[in-house]
Structure 1
Amino acid sequence: MLHKTKPLLTLLSALGFAASLTSTAQAAVVASVKPLGFIAAAIADGVTPVEILLPDGASEHDYALRPSDIKRLQSADLVVWIGPEMEAFLPKAVAALPAQKNLELAELTAVKPLLVRGADDDAHEHEEGAEAADEHAHAHHHGEYNMHLWMSPEIARQSAVAIHAKLLELMPQSRDKLDANLQHFEAELATADTQIAAQLEPVKGKGYFVFHDAYTYFEKHFGLTPAGHFTVNPEIQPGAQRLHQIRTELVEQKAVCVFAEPQFRPAVIDAVARGTKVRTGTLDPLGTDITPGRDSYVKFLSQLSSQYASCLKGA
């Protein structure tokens, strides 16, 4: 009897292990980049899991899909991304998915009127020759519009509404929880919006340089006044003339702060700021150290605000 029981238990254990593997492989929502995962996690909280496609430390600008990524996309109930101008590594994989699994935020009717054009011309208007031509070609990396949409609180709200609608189609039995999650997200976002506006009010009008043009939506929303950016595509180092132009503005004290990023901390930032009174800070456009959850997007915005305020105030 004991001999019969042991194989049975072994079989049941194996089946249980296989089932656990299957369940963990089934990602209900896959978001391309972490900040989109923050928004999705707020709506899906307590309903269905959310996974982030891009690993921490990787750049959305030059990522290459692995076979395991393809499997995650194929097994997802919903894939949330921005569009081919941002995630150039995704269109082919997403095209193979059924339309109802694809949520391309840049194509949303409510989002399109909120798009702003890429700030690529101001960085190149003083440059000449082959260097300028090369950098200008790379300036159009994202196409006509700036695609760092997660930096806009209003686009984030519209994205949350769209994710809510998609999940409601997939999981109508979870309507009450999904509705409650959306209401909570909108309320918390409105509160954070007011708090961040108050935090940043004292630093309006103070000039600064960011490493690349990821922050336009946030800056416009809260009335900040950047002096410019080092590069449009963070994979491309700024040219000598651009660095000279920035250095001149720093020496003339037209900016009080220069921001690097955790993903990109090139030596050129320290070199350009050396010997000036300008402060250096760090802005994290991906919320690298934040864990996706119910209030992670609001935490992301608040962290970004504090990073701005700390350097601009000189704290």
Structure 2
Amino acid sequence: MLFRSPILAACLLAIFTLPASADSNNATVMTTVKPMAMLLRAIAPASVEVAYLVRDGHSGHHYHMRPSEGRALQQSRQFYWLGAEFEPIMSKAAQHPSSVNLTQGLANMPTLTKGGSHLWMNPVTAMALAESAASSLTSAYPDNAEEIAANLAALKQQVATIDQQLRADLSDSQQRDFVALHDAYGNLASHYGLTQLAAFYGEHEQSLGAASRAALQQQLQGVDNVCIFSQPQFALKPVETLLADHQLTVLELDPLAADIEFSSHGFQQFMQHIGRELPKCF
């Protein structure tokens, strides 16, 4: 649940039922997390401000909206999210009167898979989300239609180039297995033909149980080098202790892009970072 406090939930409901203020027509759109905001920033008109709810360094799985964030959300022109299937904790925020579910109509895409729900980490899915966002932005800002179309075309070309290069870099690799700190990479793995052996912390951040730890150790018997997908929100030490008999190659693949500069080229830089990290293992 997004709100454990009935008082806070009631306050947010009151915010959404207030008469629209003068600020409600400002050129600001909001989304849930930084990578989605970077995707929007890449295609939105330069005159439109893009903001996101989950603060850097925090987990979206336990998000609690502050009153100031509720006010900012109410004053924004649109709210973009991935729908209740992938971001259930944002269902209350999606009561925004101009809420846009970017996955609506994409449910039959073969790349739209569960596995951490971080859909933006798969370049094909990310570009489908970008196309959906561009359509909505064009409706909201028709005077900027040409700028939005040009931004989308440039983004798609740049991401396709990064994706093509990474596929080439991975083409000769015989190693395809990895262990993740967090169950966040299902869509990335499916796109590049990688296999997640285990996630030490599940989607809701519970740690791997004793039986699963023993099964992982058994599975990795005879494997010298183990690739670990790490991210700053989760402790690496327990995994290093568990797999102390193996040589570990640790890649930092932060699904929330905390260390990537937020800019109109931020999403491309995020994909480039993934492109630099993955060949270190595969």
Band the TM-score falls in, shorter-chain normalisation: 0.7 to 0.9
Report the residue type matching 1:49 in the other structure: E
In the other structure, the counterpart of 1:216 is 186
Q: Cα distance 1:33–1:112, how it changes in 2: closer, same or farther (>3 A)?
A: farther
Aligned length: 261
Q: Pick from 136, 147, 163: which aligns with 2:133?
A: 163
Which structure has the greater CA radius of gyration? 1
Amino acid at match of 2:130: A
Taking only aligned residues, the RMSD between alpha carbons, in angstroms, comes to 2.4
2:119 corresponds to: 149
Shift of the 216–279 alpha-carbon distance from structure 1 to 2, 3 Å rule, reads same
Shift of 1:117: 4.6
Q: 1:69 to 1:112 in 2, by over 3 A?
A: farther
Report what 1:93 is aligned to.
Answer: 93
Distance 1:50 1:204, change over 3 A: farther
Equivalents in 1 of 2:152, 2:83: separation in Å? 23
Aligned-pair distance for 1:116? Answer: 4.6
Native 8 Å contact 1:284 1:304 kept in 2 = no
Task: Supply the AA of the counterpart residue of 2:103.
Answer: A
Q: In 1, distance between residues paired with 2:153 and 2:220?
A: 45
Higher alpha-carbon deviation: 161-170 or 205-214: 205-214
In structure 2, distance between residues paired with 1:44 and 1:269: 40
Name the CA distance, whole Å, in 2 between partners of 1:117 and 1:103.
Answer: 20
How far is the alpha carbon of 1:174 from its aligned partner? Answer: 1.1
Residue 13 of structure 2 corresponds to: none
Q: 1:173 to 1:58 in 2, by over 3 A?
A: same
Structure 1 residue aligned with 2:5: none
Q: 1:106 to 1:92 in 2, by over 3 A?
A: same
Pairing 1:61–2:58 present? no
- What CA distance in whole angstroms lies between the structure 2 residues aligned with 1:212 and 1:163? 27
Unaligned runs of 5+ in 1: 1-21, 120-145
Indicate whether 1:186 and 2:156 are aligned. yes
Question: Which residues in structure 2 correspond to 1:94-243 (within 5 Å)?
Answer: 94-95=94-95, 97-98=96-97, 101-107=98-104, 109-114=105-110, 116-118=112-114, 147-243=117-213
Deviation digits for residues 122-169 of structure 1 (CA, Å, limit 9, x no counterpart)? xxxxxxxxxxxxxxxxxxxxxxxx522111211211111111111111
CA distance in 2, matches of 1:75, 1:283: 33
Partner in structure 1 of residue 83 of structure 2: 83
200-209 vs 292-301, which moves further: 200-209
Secondary structure at the aligned position of 2:247 is classed as coil
SS at structure 1 position matched to 2:195: coil
**Cα gap change, 1:306/1:234 in structure 2, threshold over 3 Å: closer, same or farther?**
farther
Gaps of 5+ in 2: 1-21
How far 1:277 sits from its partner (Å)? 2.4
CA distance in 2, matches of 1:72, 1:230: 35
| 1:256 aligned counterpart, secondary structure | strand
Measured against aligned partners, the alpha-carbon deviations of 1:222-278 in whole angstroms (never above 9, x if no partner) come to 222333322432520111111122222334207621222111124321111213223
The offset of 1:220, in angstroms, is 1.4
**Cα distance in 2, alignment partners of residues 27 and 88 from structure 1:** 27
Residue of structure 1 in register with 2:73 after alignment: 73
Structure 1 residue 300: Cα displacement: 1.0
1:50/1:117 CA distance change after superposition, 3 Å: closer
Comparing both structures, which one devotes a greater share of its residues to strand?
A: 2
Give the TM-score taking structure 2 as reference length: 0.83
What's the secondary structure of 1:56's corresponding residue?
Answer: coil
1:274 maps to which of 240, 244, 252 = 244
Higher helix share: 1
Q: Contact conserved, 2:257 with 2:270, CA < 8 A, in 1? A: yes
User: Relative to 1, partners in 2 of residues 1:60 and 1:219: Cα closer, same or farther, differing over 3 Å?
Assistant: same
The 3-state SS of whatever aligns with 1:182 is helix
Give the TM-score normalised by structure 1.
Answer: 0.75
| Matched-pair contact (CA < 8 Å) for 1:260–1:280 | yes
CA distance in 2, matches of 1:151, 1:43: 17
Query: Sequence identity of aligned pairs in percent?
Result: 28
Rounded to whole Å, the distance in 2 between the matches of 1:26 and 1:251 is 58
